Amino acid sequence: MGRHNTIAGRKEKQDAKRAQIFTKYARAITVAAKGGGDMEYNMALKNAVEKAKAINMPNDNITRAIKKGTGELGGDSYESGTFEGYGPGGVAIIVETLTDNKNRTTAAVKHNFDKYGGNLGVPGCVGYMFNRKGYILIEKTDDIDEDELMMVGMDAGMEDMTVNEDSFEIFTEPNDFAEVADALRNAGYELLESDIDMVPTMTSEPPENVINNLKKLVAALEDDDDVQKVYTNCDVDLED
């Protein structure tokens, strides 16, 4: 997961892979709905549905995914998993998955690491380089006052805010994420991204000669329907 690409680049990537993203989000909704179909009492489901709506996922798809999770409709049973390893140049990579076939997913992830010069490691081998944080992305526009945005976030429990050329990135502790996200939505802000992510505590800048393979590795992992998220500690934009 790079934090360097532009808002326009993120939107373009979402548009190009919309059908695939729908599949990934439907799985996330189904798994979250196993904890109950009422979003008032199931914050994981509420967040998954909000993310799906943000990319204009049809309501019928959302409803069907919820019903699969609550057992009202039959469907595959998904299991979550996490893989850790190193990409070319020693870049730390964490891969989060939801799959109905763990053996298939493990083989695919290992194949991609091997193909592009990485090394799939053991659990915990790179996890210490990341902290789990609530993450919210808001596009910077002329009608957003930075001080007002910061005040709303801080009042709700925001931990930090990074101001970029075209965006605001807001970070929270995981337990404060839902309250901060709700406060921002209620104040009228559009959340382009909102989730609890793995944020690197230390970054790595790989040598120029491995960046192409590193980009290919991340892209191949993200193209797998079983993969939900790919996180890296790379200090170079991997999504241009």
Can you give the CATH number for the domain in which 65 is found? 1.10.10.200
CA–CA dist 218, 113 (Å, integer): 9
Residue 75 lies in a domain: no
Residue 209 lies in a domain: yes
Cα angle 176, 81, 124; round to 5: 80
Residue 206 has pLDDT above 70, yes or no: yes
Mean pLDDT of the 73-95 span: 93
Where would I find the beta strands (DSSP E) of the chain?
79-86, 92-99, 119-120, 130-139, 160-163, 167-172, 193-200, 227-232
**What domain range is 218 assigned to?**
81-126+202-232
Residue 76 lies in a domain: no
With cut-offs at 50, 70 and 90, classify the pLDDT of residue 12. Answer: low
pLDDT at 2: 45
pTM, two decimals, is 0.86
CA distances from 190 to 63, 93, 94, 220 (A): 23, 29, 28, 30
Residues 142 and 155 in one domain: yes
* Average pLDDT value for the chain: 91
Burial environment of residue 208 by CB neighbours within 10 A (0 to 12, 13 to 18, 19 or more): exposed
CA–CA dist 96, 31 (Å, integer): 14
pLDDT at 118: 97
The region, left, alpha or beta by phi > 0 then psi within -120 to 50, assigned to residue 194 is beta
CB 226 within 8 A of CB 104: yes
